[in-house]
Chains A and B, each alone.
Chain A
Amino acid sequence: GDSVTQMEGPVTLSEEAFLTINCTYTATGYPSLFWYVQYPGEGLQLLLKATKADDKGSNKGFEATYRKETTSFHLEKGSVQVSDSAVYFCALMYNNNDMRFGAGTRLTVKP
């Protein structure tokens, strides 16, 4: 069935470092792909999305490109801040069915 695999955390970076969180998916068709962020003690917030191959989602300095050839949707940010410390979830949705989430990757950014 459809599924998402994220890189295992936790990830610890210094402020202003470059961030990559890997996400790959398995799906029978062409799903929509998402990144959600969860700050401590809060629910999930939609960070960005992409609905078709080669689409690039972006928000708050984060970017992810829908790569059909590698079935990937890696999250990147050029310069992280302490306030980016959170858990990041990759997710897919196919044919308006359930949304499937990865296990989440905890990011800690140190000053």
Chain B
Amino acid sequence: SQTIHQWPATLVQPVGSPLSLECTVEGTSNPNLYWYRQAAGRGLQLLFYSVGIGQISSEVPQNLSASRPQDRQFILSSKKLLLSDSGFYLCAYRGTGGVGELFFGEGSRLTVL
């Protein structure tokens, strides 16, 4: 069966520090992968998606970046965090069966102080 994991689950970082959030998927090959952000009390904003190794599409210009060094690994990074980067970050993969709905990881809560 397919599973998705994110870590760390919780992170508190000072402004200006770097960030690395990791997401891995098991049980599927070459999945489409997504990073979403959910700000407090708000909906989901698509940040990046990837259809394969090294292929990244950005939806919103910002100081975040994404990389896909391996088929089932998706990393969200920043060189210098801003206060506005605080939020709940969700990684997802597109299912291969059905209509290709998204399946989400447990989320990573980032607080920038």
Contact = CB atoms under 8 A, between A and B. Distances in A.
Nearest to B107: A43
Interface string A25-65: 00000001010100001111110010100000000000000
A24 to B, nearest CB: 15
A101 B90 CA distance: 13
Nearest to B57: A98
Interface residues of A, number: 20
Contacts of A46: 101-103
6 contacts: A42-B107, A43-B90, A43-B104, A49-B99, A104-B42, A104-B44
Interface of B: 6, 42-44, 46, 49, 59, 90, 92, 98-107, 109
Given A44-B44, A44-B104, 6 more contacts: A42-B107, A43-B6, A43-B90, A44-B102, A46-B102, A96-B100
4 cross-chain pairs, A with B, having the tightest CB-CB distances, nearest first: A43-B104, A103-B43, A44-B104, A101-B44
